Structure 1
Amino acid sequence: MKNLKTIAVALFVAVASISVNAQTKKIDTKASTIKWVGKKVTGEHSGTVNFKDGAVVFKGKKLAGGSFTVDMTSLTATDLTGEYQGKLNGHLKADDFFGTDKYPTATLVFKKIGSKAKDIYNVTADLTIKGITKPVNFDITVKGNTATTAFNVDRTKYDIKYGSGNFFEGLGDKTINDEFELAVALKF
């Protein structure tokens, strides 16, 4: 019985020290950025979308987790102004793109993290857009209180098929690439 108590105390101390080492850092949603680029046969559009909230988790100095919510209603083109910007923003928020009235947020949750090099991690995460969750993979660089990454997302996996040459014939120069690019800078 005494040995059992000793083992239980040792196990409790070990678990407590592990949880003490984990540190969650909330992101600064105003200073953190998401920039996007969508390309088509005749050019491209670029813009931003804002974080609603998010946090990264560290165990010691190593990245151990992350979870983020994006405010899809903040989606905006930055390469246009005036009427043309309004039209593009309206179309991107419409049901045939991101459907922001029905799906006002998107989420990204880190599921697997591997160390690739000093300050560089390979992350597999669950990305949810329009209520559809699919895995994405990317490298992220963490230095001090910042983290940066860039990766592509195949929009058709999230039922965003508008203008896709893989789903519609005869689009010609109106074809839109299936993948869009994201560049993310986190401040925490």
Structure 2
Amino acid sequence: MKKNFLKILFITALTVSFTSCKDKAKEAETTAAEAVEETVNSESFVVKTDASTIEWKGFKPTGSHNGTIAIDSGVLDIANGNVVGGSFIIDMKSITVTDIPAEEKGNAKLKGHLSSPDFFDVEKYPNAGFTITGLENVEGKMMLSGNLSLKDAKNNVTFPVTVSNENGVVTLTSETFTIDRTKWNVQYGSKSIFDNLGDKFINDDMELKVMVKAAKS
């Protein structure tokens, strides 16, 4: 009986582990910040901030939380219908929590914690930024690279995107990808930084999905 129970427990744990690995989004390749080359013979398309957003998701042993962050302003540089450069400003004060109803106290509590110095310290660092450094086709996938500035750190990240250009509106949409938040000095609850957290840790990996729409001004 005990042997059967242990066998079932092992299979269950293995299944959960396999499912978690299968469902986890791929981490963006992260390197040191790169030089930004000036684009020539391109047109600047202004980001439509009301139609652009960043979705985020964070994980802990007991579950996850998710929400959105607004894009404050930006441009995409377009040449021959292709994205060749650009940048946008991310409004960190706009961070929202969408998995907890807005009227519940937990929503405001989590938003406040994310905005605090424990996480993104939005009073000190109200804006983050992303500047495109390259876009290339790799084995049939468009891979976008850019310098992500967050808090007091800057790293270059590379992740897959799709780009469409319809009726004068360019839409750039990423696949869901993850970044290691500690590389941008967001360290609260990280097992890789702090010892003796037990099951009170928060995963270093943070999922992001970016969608930017831009049009001629």
TM normalised by structure 2 equals: 0.74
Classify 1:69/1:96 alpha carbon distance in 2 versus 1 (closer, same or farther; 3 Å).
Answer: same
List per-residue Cα deviations over 1:106-149 (Å, max 9, x = no partner): 0000112213377x521221100002111111111101221100
2:105 to 83, 96, 100: 83
How far did residue 31 of structure 1 move?
A: 0.8
Whole-Å Cα distance in 2 between the matches of residues 185 and 111 of structure 1? 17
Residue matched to 1:137: 158
- Structure 1 spans left out of the alignment, 5+ residues: 1-17
Which contiguous aligned blocks of 4+ residues in structure 1 show a shift greater than 6 angstroms? none
Q: How many residues align?
A: 169
Residue matched to 1:115: 137
Q: Output the aligned Cα RMSD.
A: 1.6
AA matched with 1:74: S
Tell which structure's C-alpha radius of gyration is larger.
1
Q: Is the 8 A contact 1:42 1:174 kept in 2?
A: no
AA matched with 2:173: T
In the alignment, does 2:172 pair up with 1:147? Answer: yes
What SS does the aligned partner of 1:177 have?
coil
Whole-Å Cα distance in 2 between the matches of residues 176 and 49 of structure 1? 20
Residue matched to 2:118: 96
1:163 to 184, 189, 196: 189
Q: Which structure shows the higher strand fraction? A: 1
- Percent of pairs with identical residues: 38
- Structure with higher RCO (Cα < 8 A, 6+ apart): 2
Q: Is the 8 A contact 2:152 2:185 kept in 1?
A: no
What SS does the aligned partner of 1:88 have?
helix
- Structure 2 spans left out of the alignment, 5+ residues: 1-38
